[in-house]
Structure formats: structure tokens, C-alpha cells
Amino acid sequence: MSTRTVAVGSASGLHARPAKLFVEAAAAAPVKVTIQVAGRKPVPAKSMLSVLALGAKQGTEVTLQADGEGAEQALDDLAALLARDLDADDA
């Protein structure tokens, strides 16, 4: 099982637009990825409702997990996406 821990970079946290972009990217990944806030249950990264319900704010550390072929690359990509300020990017 590979993991990445990263602090959420988006100004508004993992809400609305940043959550949508992350969930879409996770759904497109070749492996099943989970996301977790310390002390809580991991949830599927491609579930918009579960990701929103994490309530992750800017600076909240989240841990991604995945297994299988392509997991390393997928986790790197998703971690990099989380670390960016997705609110600041142009629509």
C-alpha cells in the first residue's frame, strides 16, 4: 500500500471547486484511491460527498492511499493537485 501525506493548498479548503477538481482527477485515476484526515476513516477519493464531508481546510493534512499498477504515479499527481491553490487557478 502506497501513501502520500500532503497539506491542502487551496485557500477555501477542500470545498466546492477544489473538491470537484480533486474528485474528478481521482475518478480518472487507474487505481482506487482513498483519502483520510488523521484519526478518521479513509474514504473513497472519487466520492464528492465523502471528500466534502472531510471538512478539510487550507493547511489540513490529508493522507492518500492506493495499491496496484500505476498507484505511485496516481498518488504523486493527486498529491500535487491537493498541494496547489485550486481556488487561485483560472476557471
Residues recognised as catalytic: 15
Which segments of 1-91 are extended strands (E)? 2-7, 33-37, 43-44, 61-66
Which backbone phi and psi does 89 adopt, to 5 degrees?
Answer: -65, 150
Taking CB under 8 A as the binding criterion, the range among 2-10, 45-53, 63-71, 75-83 that sits at the site for another protein is 45-53
**Binder of another protein out of 2, 3, 42, 47 (CB under 8 A):** 47
**Chain mean position to CA 41:** 14
Question: What string marks each residue from 51 to 80 as x (binds another protein by CB under 8 A) or -?
Answer: -xx-x-xxx---------------------
